Structure 1
């Protein structure tokens, strides 16, 4: 069965997979600078992936609702995503003392991977 919700879930899963690969490569590149730099890059990218997953669970969950309910779920999912990202970044830099540059690089790489994954059309089954 092909529905917009099912397609949205597949698209979110693909984006998270692409993000995981891109962030892993970025963390490996930062490993040359040190383990804390690699950890920071991985944490920044993981924050985006986790936030995106939570956003998709909220936005695409709940079944069929009127448009106002669907829009409210979408906005709540996006808001939660960025709350998670900001919280992880603040905890990583402030509490764990990780360097902010690789953490932001991980965020940027994960967002770019998400953009590329979502720009590519889904294969029809």
Structure 2
């Protein structure tokens, strides 16, 4: 076995840390447009980071299990991740009336950081 459950947990936490940093940087970049735009960009990034943390918690929460159970947890984690992201985006747009473009910029940037972070081999 090449990877342990603990290594997966560490990877999920490391990815979340990088995502939170990227969300802060995107929010800082949109600060020149105003506090509302910065909040939207930060919330978009935070939605993806929170969803990724939930997905990692579900995928690696029970420890070692048979392949079908592990695959089911990974799929359930990804579904719940995107449910969290969609819920936060819907609330940000409908309830808080935040601007859509900074929100989308935060979502895309933090999603790309997730891909880059997980593609780096240690």
The alignment's TM-score, normalised by the length of structure 2, stands at: 0.94
| Structure 1 match to 2:17 | 17
Say whether residues 1:33 and 2:33 are aligned partners: yes
Indicate if the aligned counterparts of 2:15 and 2:117 stay in contact, CA closer than 8 A.
Answer: yes
1:12-91 to 2 correspondence within 5 Å? Answer: 12-91=12-91
Count of equivalent residues: 121
Query: Gaps spanning 5+ residues in structure 2: where?
Result: none
Distance 1:14 1:61 in 2: 16
Match of 1:104 in 2: 104
TM-score, length of structure 1 as denominator length? 0.92
* CA RMSD, 1 decimal: 1.2
In the TM superposition, residue 63 of structure 1 has moved relative to its aligned partner by: 2.1
Q: Deviations over 1:37-82 (max 9, x none)?
A: 0000000000000000000000011122221111111111000000
Could you tell me how far 1:119 is from its partner in structure 2?
A: 1.3
Distance of 1:18 and 1:75 partners within structure 2: 23
* Runs of 5+ consecutive residues of structure 1 not aligned to the other structure: none
Q: Is the 8 A contact 2:5 2:64 kept in 1?
A: no
